[in-house]
């Protein structure tokens, strides 16, 4: 594993490493900064339209400081290798996607071979319209998978309007919607720090054995909870989780209950 070569970088930035197929710009790695303990979780970052590794630097550093291994996966090329390397036995495996990266995370979540433990989706495209000069591939999702899912949307997002995000959140009880200041590009806007903090609270609630959408523990028999990816009390969780702010975790763990009659298909095409 070779570090990024620029001696003028700050110590924090120099902690970014190439990983997997060395030399490929698509993959970067920030190891958990607590070298005395195994990583508390493994998080894979997936960019969207007009985004690159620089947009994710701040959130990746914050997550690494909190004890998580963080991998940036910039392209689909050799994604299976990078995703396999990103797993950590006994630690939650989380896909974190922004814009079309969120669509990509949803697609990967449906793969039996991958089986993530949770999803963090920023600015999930809910209208089929261009952003950064690109149209999303495929149509907006009709519903969310039955996984602990945190959706983070900018309050002034026109690509993923908040009211549509609220509707799709209600298609599954394991989802939670949070709004942050700014528009569609959360990580380069005024809500970036809050998005990082919400992600930490979300992952810590998993480590506490709580489902952020329903307050219940994650069932051991759900897809993705098998050997090597199971989360919850006694599944590779450090004792430090108990010392996290209960009030903050409770905020993220508030239940979101599906309301009968809410339409599950919300994809809208803008012409």
Is residue 194 situated within a structural domain?
yes
Among 154-158, 209-213, 242-246, the least confident range: 242-246
pLDDT at residue 119, as a whole number: 96
Is residue 153 situated within a structural domain?
yes
Structure confidence by residue, pLDDT tens digits, 158-195: 888 888 889 889 888 899 999 999 998 899 899 999 99
Which residues, other chains included, contact 271 with Cβ-Cβ below 8 Å and sequence gap of 6+? none
Mean pLDDT, range 11-22, rounded to an integer? 41
For the chain, give the number of residues.
271
Is residue 263 situated within a structural domain?
yes
Is residue 6 situated within a structural domain?
no
State how far the alpha carbon of 191 is from the alpha carbons of 122, 183, 184, in Å: 11, 9, 10
Mean pLDDT, range 139-147, rounded to an integer? 75
State how far the alpha carbon of 252 is from the alpha carbons of 8, 152, 203, in Å: 38, 11, 10
Top-confidence range, 162-176, 208-222, 253-267: 162-176
Among 29-33, 147-151, 251-255, the least confident range: 251-255
Structure confidence by residue, pLDDT tens digits, 94-126: 999 999 899 989 988 888 888 899 999 999 988
Burial of 45 from C-beta contacts in 10 A (0-12 / 13-18 / 19+): buried
Among 99-108, 204-213, 254-263, the least confident range: 254-263
Higher pLDDT, 247 or 108: 108
Distance CA 95, CA 31 (A): 16
What does the chain look like in DSSP terms, one character per residue?
Answer: --B-S-TTS-TTGGG-EE-SSTT-TTEEEE--S-TTS--SEEEEEE--TT--HHHHHHHHHHHHHTTEEEEEE-SSTTHHHHHHHH--TTS-EEEEEETHHHHHHHHHHT-TTT--SEEEEES---EE--BTTBPPSSPPPSS--SS-EEEEEETT-SSS-HHHHHHHHTTSTTEEEEEESSSS-GGGSTTHHHHHHHHHHHHHHHHTT--TTTSSPPPTTSTT-STTT--STTSS--GGGGGS-HHHHHHHT---PPPTT--S---EE--
Is residue 4 situated within a structural domain?
no
Is residue 2 situated within a structural domain?
no
Cβ 9 vs Cβ 30: under 8 Å: no
pLDDT above 90 for 39: yes
Is residue 265 situated within a structural domain?
yes
Distance CA 126, CA 75 (A): 22
Domain total of the chain: 1
Domain that holds residue 205: 13-269
Structure confidence by residue, pLDDT tens digits, 59-81: 999 999 999 999 998 876 667 77
Is residue 52 situated within a structural domain?
yes
pTM comes to 0.69
pLDDT at residue 20, as a whole number: 38
Looking at the DSSP bridge assignments, the partners of residue 68 are 41
CATH number for the domain spanning 79: value is 3.40.50.1820
Among 32-36, 75-79, 128-132, 182-186, the least confident range: 128-132
Mean pLDDT, range 34-54, rounded to an integer? 90
């Amino acid at each position: 594993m070779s570090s990024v070569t620029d001696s003028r970088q700050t110590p924090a930035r120099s902690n970014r490493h190439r990983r997997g197929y060395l030399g490929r710009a698509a993959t970067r790695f920030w190891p958990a900064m607590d070298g005395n303990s195994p990583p508390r979780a493994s998080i894979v970052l997936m960019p969207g339209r007009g985004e690159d590794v620089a947009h994710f630097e701040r959130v990746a550093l914050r997550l690494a400081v909190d004890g998580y291994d963080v991998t940036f996966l910039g392209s689909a090329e050799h994604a299976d290798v990078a995703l396999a390397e990103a797993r950590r036995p006994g630690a939650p495996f989380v896909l974190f996607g922004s814009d079309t990266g969120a669509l990509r995370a949803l697609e990967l979540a449906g793969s039996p071979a991958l089986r993530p433990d949770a999803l963090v989706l920023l600015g999930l495209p809910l209208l089929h319209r261009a952003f950064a000069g690109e149209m999303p591939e495929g149509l907006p999702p009709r519903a969310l998978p039955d996984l602990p899912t945190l959706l983070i949307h900018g309050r002034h997002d026109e690509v993923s309007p908040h009211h549509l995000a609220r509707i799709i959140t209600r298609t599954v009880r394991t989802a939670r919607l949070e709004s942050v200041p700014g528009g569609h590009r959360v990580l380069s806007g005024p809500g970036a720090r809050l998005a990082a903090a919400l992600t930490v609270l979300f992952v810590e609630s998993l480590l506490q054995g709580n489902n952020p959408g329903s307050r219940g523990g994650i069932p051991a028999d759900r897809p993705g909870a098998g050997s090597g990816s199971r989360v919850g009390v006694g599944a590779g969780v450090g004792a430090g989780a108990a010392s996290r702010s209960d009030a903050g975790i409770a905020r993220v763990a508030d239940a979101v209950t599906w309301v009968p009659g809410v339409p599950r298909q919300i994809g809208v095409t803008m012409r």
